[in-house]
Structure 1
Amino acid sequence: MRLRSPMPQLDGATTWINGKVKREDLVGEKPTFFHFWSVSCYLCKEEMWDVNNILRGFKDDLNIVSIHMPRSKEDKDLSLVKKIAAQFNIQYPIYIDNDLKLTDAFENEYVPAYYLFDEKGLLRHYQVGGSGMRMLEQRIRRILGII
């Protein structure tokens, strides 16, 4: 997905955890942060606390959506996803992408991956991997006009 690309529709979820949202719910008032992760990804779990700490500071200023992207057949176990989500206290909506429809719409290949869209629904920042949490926080601050 290229910078300034429009946010895809959020169609095709296998299910939602913590409530369902649509693209129309996210575009217009606040920027939106998408977080791709997988239960089998060690790095995802290692970075989850840092991501949650960053997002906690912006929860009133950002729409936040988590996308669980399975990397194996075992990753499609909904009870395991719910267990890990509870363990890491993920309270924002989680799109379960067992059919990889949203993953394909984002052209995403990696976990963890982070996408930040402005309030108009245009992609402003994309980042993969566990390093660079400081840069991620800085990009969020920039899009919110805090820097």
Structure 2
Amino acid sequence: MKLRELMPELSGATAWVNNEVTKEDLVGDKPTLIHFWSVSCHLCKEAMPQVNQFRDEFKDKLNVVAVHMPRSEKDLDLEEIKEVAKEHGITQPIYVDSELKLNDAFENQYVPAYYVFDKEGKLRHFQAGGSGMKMLEKRVNRVLDENEKTV
């Protein structure tokens, strides 16, 4: 995805965990952080406490959605996805992308990967990898500040 592109539709999930959301639920009110992760990804698990902190700290100002992207056949077990999500405190909606439909729509190649959209649903920041959470926090805060000014 290129910066300023619109958020793809959140269709094609093989399952939803915790709650199901649509693009319409996310766009219009507040910015959104969508993060891709996988049960077999060590870096994803290491970064999860910081993602959960964003979710909790900005719960009234930021939508957070997880996307589970399988990296192998073993990553397709829905019960394991639910178990790992519970272990790591992932309470936000989880789009289970076992057929890689959303992954393809995002043109995503990485886990962990983070996409920050403004309230209009335009991509404002993308980053991949386990480090750089300070940069992600800065970008989230910038989009939140812009949102505050337009409310």
When the two structures are superposed, what TM-score results if normalisation uses the length of structure 1?
0.97
**Do the aligned residues in 1 keep the contact of 2:14 with 2:96 (CA within 8 Å)?**
yes
Task: Indicate the larger mover: 111-120 or 40-49.
Answer: 40-49
Partner of 1:120: 120
**Do the aligned residues in 1 keep the contact of 2:55 with 2:63 (CA within 8 Å)?**
no
Give SS of 2:145's match.
Answer: coil
Inter-partner Cα distance in structure 2 for 1:141 and 1:106: 22
Give SS of 1:142's match.
Answer: helix
Partner of 2:36: 36
Give SS of 2:39's match.
Answer: coil
Partner of 2:18: 18
> Where does 1:1-147 land on structure 2 (aligned, <5 Å)?
1-145=1-145
Inter-partner Cα distance in structure 2 for 1:54 and 1:61: 10
Inter-partner Cα distance in structure 1 for 2:88 and 2:59: 16
The letter of the residue matching 1:73 is E
Where does structure 1 differ by over 2 angstroms across 4 or more consecutive aligned residues?
A: none
Structure 2 portions without partners, runs of 5+: 147-151
Inter-partner Cα distance in structure 2 for 1:96 and 1:62: 21
Structure with a larger share of its residues in helix: 2
* Structure 1 residue 57, shift from structure 2 partner: 1.0
Give SS of 1:2's match.
Answer: coil
When the two structures are superposed, what TM-score results if normalisation uses the length of structure 2?
0.94
Identity of aligned residues (%): 60
* Structure 1 residue 127, shift from structure 2 partner: 0.5
* Structure 1 residue 55, shift from structure 2 partner: 2.7
Q: CA RMSD in A?
A: 1.2
Give SS of 2:45's match.
Answer: helix
The letter of the residue matching 2:66 is S
Inter-partner Cα distance in structure 1 for 2:13 and 2:142: 30
* Structure 1 residue 54, shift from structure 2 partner: 2.8
Inter-partner Cα distance in structure 2 for 1:52 and 1:92: 9
Inter-partner Cα distance in structure 2 for 1:7 and 1:124: 10
Structure 1 portions without partners, runs of 5+: none
